[in-house]
Amino acid sequence: MAGKKPWAGRFSQATHKAVEEFTVSLHFDHKLYTYDIQGSIAHCRMLARQKIIAAGEAKKIIAGLEAIRRELDAGKLSLRPEFEDIHMLIESRLIEKIGPVGGKLHTARSRNDQIALDISLYLRDAVRGTIALIEAAQKALLGLAEKNIDAVLPGFTHMQHAQPVLLAHHLLAYFEMLDRDRDRLEGCFVRVNRMPLGAGALAGTPHPVDREYVAKLLGYPEVTRNSMDTVADRDTQIEYCSCAAIIMMHLSRLCEELVIWMSPEFQFIDIADAFCTGSSIMPQKKNPDVAELVRGKTGRVYGNLMSLFTLLKSLPLAYNRDLQEDKIALFDTVETVQSCLNIMALMLPEVKVNKGRMRSATQSGFLTATDLADYLVSKKMPFRTAHEVVGKVVGHCVHMGKSLWDMSLAELQRFSPVFKADVMGWLTIDASVNSRKCIGGTGTAAVKKALAAARAGLKKRKKP
C-alpha cells in the first residue's frame, strides 16, 4: 500500500529515501493510534451530521477505521516509514480498504489540528493515570507511617542532627509534596481538556463544522478558542512535563533519604530483597538500586522539560514541523514518571524500619537543646538570652563528653538560676516530640490527626 504521498499533487519528484527516513515520526507517534482513530470517528460523525459528507459514506469510513484499529491492535499493520506519521498511515490504509470515499475523512481537517487532538486525548489519559499513581504512592507513604507511628528519629538540617521527629511526620512531608503535585495536575487537566479539532491547518475551516458536537462526542466540556493558538500551542505538554519534573524532584529526595537510611552508617531501614539488587563482583552486596534509579531518571525528566522549552522558544506562529519532536520528550516523560510512581508505591510497603537504630541515633547531637532554651523562655527569659545560655551548656557538655540529660540541676544552675527541678521534663526525646502539639508539628497527637486527615482527604478528592 506504499506509493504516492497523500500530499504529492504539486510534486514532480518522489521523496528522496533519506528525506523519508529523516522526516518520519511513525516509529514514535504510532503510540497515538487509538486516539487518532477515536478522534477521526468523532470527526466523521460530525461531518455526516452536518451533511458535509453523506451518512452512508460516514458509515463506511467508520467501519474502515474500526477495522484498522483491530489491525493495529493485533500488530498486523506494518509501520512502514514511507507513511511519515500515524495520521497518514491510517488514512492511506483507509483508502486502500474502502476506496476513494476514505479520502473524505480529511475534509475540514488538517494534520495540524489532528495531532493537537491526538495529544490532548493522550494527555487526558496520562494526567488521569499519573494522578492514580500519585494516590497509590501517597497511600503507601501513609501505610508506612501508620505502621511505624512510634518511630522517632533525628530530624536533620544541614545533614546535622537538629530536633527529634516522628518518622510518620517525616513521611507525611512527602505526602504533602505529592498532594501538591496532584493539585498541579488537576489544574493542568483543565487546560488539556479543550477540544482542538476545527482549527484546520491554522485558520479554521470554511465547512459548516460543529466543533461543539465533536467536543461532546469526545467528552470535552469546551473547545479551543483560537485556531492559530490551537495548532501552535504546546503549553499543555510543557505543563505536564513540568508537573512531572516536580514529581520526580520529590521522589528523588525521598529516594536519596532511603539510600542514606539503608547505608551501614545509618541502618535506619532495610528494603526487602525483592526490591534490591546485588553486585556482579562483591558477593556481600545488597544495593538500593530502585531508589537510585528513580533518582537517576529524574535528570532525564528534567531534560525533557528543557527540550520542550527549547523546541518552542522563538517558534513563530503557527504550525512548524519542529513541533513533531515534542512527542519524544512527552512520551518519555509520561512513561518515566508513571513507572517511578508505580515502583515507589510497590517498594514503600517493603521498607522495614529499624526503630531501635533510629531511636539510638536521637541520643547524640543534643537534639533537645532547643527545648532547653524554650524551657527558659517559658520562664520569661528572652529567647536570644536563652539561646546563649544553652549554647554555653552545650559547649560544656561537649567538653565533658556528656548529654544534656546527664546534667544535674545544680550543674545547670551554674549557667542560669532560672533552671528549676521541672527542667528535667523538657529534656527527653519523647517530651520534645510531644511538646510540638501545634497544627503541622511533630507531636504524636498532631501527627495522628494529620494521618487521619490525609486519609480522609484522599477519599474526598474528585478524580478528573
**Which residues make up the interface to ligand ARG (CB under 6 A)?**
25, 29, 85, 111-112, 115, 319, 321, 323-324
Rounded to whole angstroms, how far apart are CA atoms 293 and 226?
42
270 beta partners: 352
Rounded to whole angstroms, how far apart are CA atoms 318 and 363?
64
Q: Is 227 a catalytic residue?
A: no
Q: Which CB, 266 or 331, lies closer to ligand ARG? A: 331
User: Among 12, 16, 78, 158, which one carries the catalytic annotation?
Assistant: 158
Between the CA of residue 171 and those of 21, 142, 254, 402, what are the distances in Å? 49, 8, 9, 31
Closest contact distance (angstroms) between CB of 26 and ligand ARG is 9
Q: Which CB, 112 or 416, lies closer to ligand ARG? A: 112
Are 309 and 234 a contacting pair, CB within 8 Å? no
157 beta partners: 160
Q: Which CB, 321 or 384, lies closer to ligand ARG? A: 321
Closest contact distance (angstroms) between CB of 29 and ligand ARG is 6
Question: Which long-range CB contacts under 8 A does 423-427 form with residues at least 24 apart?
Answer: 423/372, 423/375, 426/368, 426/371, 426/372, 426/374, 426/375, 427/368, 427/371, 427/372
CA torsion angle for 333, 335, 336, 339 (degrees, to 10)? 150
Closest contact distance (angstroms) between CB of 238 and ligand ARG is 15
Tracing cell 480498504 back to the chain, one arrives at: 97
Closest contact distance (angstroms) between CB of 289 and ligand ARG is 35
User: Among 263, 279, 360, 378, which one carries the catalytic annotation?
Assistant: 279
Closest CA to 298 of 330, 265, 252, 343: 252
Q: Is 4 exposed, middle or buried (0-12, 13-18, 19+ CB in 10 A)?
A: exposed
The conformation of residue 198, written as its DSSP 8-state character, comes to: T
Closest contact distance (angstroms) between CB of 33 and ligand ARG is 13
Closest contact distance (angstroms) between CB of 96 and ligand ARG is 20
Are 433 and 165 a contacting pair, CB within 8 Å? yes
- Residue 292: half-sphere exposure toward Cβ, Cα within 13 Å: 12
Q: Which CB, 112 or 236, lies closer to ligand ARG? A: 112
Residue type, 419: F
Closest contact distance (angstroms) between CB of 263 and ligand ARG is 46
Between the CA of residue 340 and those of 17, 249, 258, 348, what are the distances in Å? 39, 11, 15, 12
Q: Which CB, 242 or 324, lies closer to ligand ARG? A: 324
Q: Which CB, 201 or 260, lies closer to ligand ARG? A: 201
Q: Which cell goes with 385?
A: 538570652
Q: Which CB, 6 or 143, lies closer to ligand ARG? A: 6
Q: Is 252 a catalytic residue?
A: no
Closest contact distance (angstroms) between CB of 36 and ligand ARG is 10
Residue type, 44: C
Q: Which CB, 318 or 351, lies closer to ligand ARG? A: 318
**Catalytic positions:** 158, 279
